[in-house]
């Protein structure tokens, strides 16, 4: 449906009452710009709610997701204020799974 070439996570919490304009302003503040075909993910402080802003090249989409039990595995804001993930990690993240163990981060190189 919507082409997404890059997925970025904002590590600092966002107020989930934020609408499209506030979320877009936050993307510009953290990432410098809203690039076409890019998804930007935000979570609340408890990491049980997430908002995804997508620029599809023509307009902006804003979606939200809430977990009724548990929380999203969200990166620590102390490490960086933004982090890029791949589609496999994104699919695990939205289910509440430990996405950071998938992809390059989960490769074992030395025994």
Q: What is the pTM of this model?
A: 0.87
pLDDT at 110: 57
Write out pLDDT tens, residues 79-99. Answer: 788 999 999 899 999 888 888
Quote the mean pLDDT of the chain.
Answer: 89
Write out pLDDT tens, residues 13-34. Answer: 999 999 999 999 999 999 999 9
Write out pLDDT tens, residues 34-84. Answer: 999 999 999 999 999 999 999 999 999 999 999 999 999 998 887 788 999
What would the 3-class secondary structure string for 7-34 be?
A: EEEECCCCCCCCCHHHHHHHHHHHHCCC
């Amino acid at each position: 449906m919507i082409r997404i070439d890059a997925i970025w996570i904002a590590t600092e919490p966002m107020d989930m009452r934020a609408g499209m304009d506030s979320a877009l302003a936050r993307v510009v503040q953290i990432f410098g710009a809203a690039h076409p075909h890019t998804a930007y993910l935000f979570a609340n402080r408890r990491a049980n709610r997430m908002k995804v802003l997508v620029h599809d090249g023509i307009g902006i989409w804003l979606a939200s997701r809430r977990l009724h039990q548990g929380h999203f595995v969200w990166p620590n804001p102390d490490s960086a204020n933004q982090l890029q993930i791949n589609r496999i990690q994104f699919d695990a993240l939205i289910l509440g799974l430990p996405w950071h163990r998938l992809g390059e981060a989960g490769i074992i190189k030395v025994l």
